[in-house]
Structure 1
Amino acid sequence: MRMRTTSGSVTRRRGIIALVISLLAVMFVWTPTASAHGTIVSPATRAYQCWQTWGSHHTDPAMQQQDPMCYQAFQANADTMWNWMSALRDGLGGAFQAKTPDGQLCSNALSRNNALNTPGQWKTSNVGSSFSMHLYDQASHGADYFKVYVSKTGFDPTTQRLGWGNLDLITTTGRYAPAKDITFNVQTNGSYRGRHIVFTIWQASHADQTYMWCSDVNFG
């Protein structure tokens, strides 16, 4: 026997469907905001440089020849570049070295970003013995501090993965109030020449969230 559907039950079903669609729409709108953080945009981190250069035409076959390191990163996981602002880990408690293995510093030990650890001819930013660091933080978290390192003379980022023993600690900053843009100066001893990695740790202020990045530079 076929059940007759009343107009009231149809209305209720439509109401439930509309509610579900509304909830899904809210989730879709808010998820990107909740995952929005930041990165060092100058000197550009590896993921940010790839997104900035190739994001608008990431399927261009010219990338393979013109920027092979970005090409291999896009091939490995394009989400690494689309989410250049989200290279974070929770709850490290300041134990950066103990919880980040050698060879995984540039990815912040995130397996999805492992292509960023690959040695090679990453595009570089030209810097002097004194240079400015610029953090762009979409969510304005502020910073407990930044730690900035430079790879040691003799380390070759085109052939070697970065480890803790390859780094010189250059500066540890103080706190910064929440802001979308934070800039600070870094002063080296002037002994660095040519290609190096600037490795930065950002300890965000709103929670125990740690960001780590590699920026490829050329000291003039």
Structure 2
Amino acid sequence: MVRKRKFALAGVVASVAGLLLSLVSAGVSSAHGAALMPGSRTYLCYKDGRASTGQIIPQNAACQAAFNQSGATPFYNWFAVLRSDGAGRTQGFIPDGRLCSGAAQIYNFNGFDIARADWPVTHLTSGATIQVRYNKWAHHPGRFDLYITNSSYNPSQPLRWSNLVSTPFSSVVNPPQSGATGSEEGHYYWNAQLPSGLSGRHIIYSVWTRSDSTETFYGCSDVVFDGGNGQVTF
């Protein structure tokens, strides 16, 4: 009887372990990257909220609002704002007001669509050249396009496609990469010249289109053009 119980317990442990492994693998396989510089909302809110205990405890008020709406899961999965059926589509595919969440299917990123003027922000200089860094949680070939908001953008209103300049200010295909895939530090990188004549708060909107599948990644990076050189304010 004791031996049977031991075998039964071992079977349960193995089953649970297998289930956990499959869940973790599913999460990683569907999560591939986001902007590190200038940091995306999801990444900077993860950085803001990550406690030494591993919990997500937001300090920034906008990150807290996102947490209240969407919970902790999208913070841990900051690299998973994607549409598996995106195929590089933008306007007419992702609805107005859902740009920052990418109308994502896997995790609930809706909290990151909240219109606020106090998201963590990267300080930049209009017209300057910066090194863009985009995390490679998983490596995929493809094209990166960066858009900037126009003069109609108002942080207190939901982001619409009409708030973006229609032509990307930076585009690159299969840029070089550095660091380990599947780590926070691993990333693609390239130099981009920022648009000139801008001041105040804006959003840099990123679209990463895989060339080996229809999967497409979307992201909002809140920036302020005030003469900065990439400093982040939480």
Q: TM-score range by the shorter chain?
A: 0.7 to 0.9
Residues paired across the two proteins, number: 208
Max radius of gyration: which structure? 1
Q: For 1:3-43, what per-residue CA distance to the aligned partner results, in whole angstroms no more than 9, with x for missing partners?
A: xx7x7x77875675465355335425534432441110111
* CA RMSD after TM alignment: 2.7
Letter in structure 1 aligned against 2:196: G
Letter in structure 2 aligned against 1:46: R
Identify the match of residue 162 of structure 1 among 135, 142, 159. Answer: 159
Task: Structure 1: give runs of 5+ residues left out of the alignment.
Answer: none
The alignment status of 1:49 with 2:11, answered yes or no, reads: no
The alignment status of 1:207 with 2:225, answered yes or no, reads: no
Task: Structure 2: give runs of 5+ residues left out of the alignment.
Answer: 227-234
The alignment status of 1:123 with 2:120, answered yes or no, reads: yes
1:88 alignment counterpart: 82
Q: Secondary structure at the match of 2:62?
A: helix
TM-score, length of structure 2 as denominator length: 0.77
Structure 1 residues 59 and 182, CA gap change in structure 2 (3 angstroms):
closer
Identify the match of residue 109 of structure 2 among 101, 108, 113. Answer: 113
**Structure ranking higher in helix proportion:** 1
Structure 1 residues 152 and 20, CA gap change in structure 2 (3 angstroms):
same
How far apart, in 2, do the equivalents of 1:25 and 1:107 lie? 26
Letter in structure 2 aligned against 1:113: F
How far apart, in 1, do the equivalents of 2:174 and 2:194 lie? 21
The Cα shift of 1:108 comes to 0.4
Identify the match of residue 219 of structure 1 among 203, 207, 225. Answer: 225
TM-score, length of structure 1 as denominator length: 0.81
2:64 alignment counterpart: 71
Q: For 1:176-214, what per-residue CA distance to the aligned partner results, in whole angstroms no more than 9, with x for missing partners?
A: 367641111222341111111101101134422111111
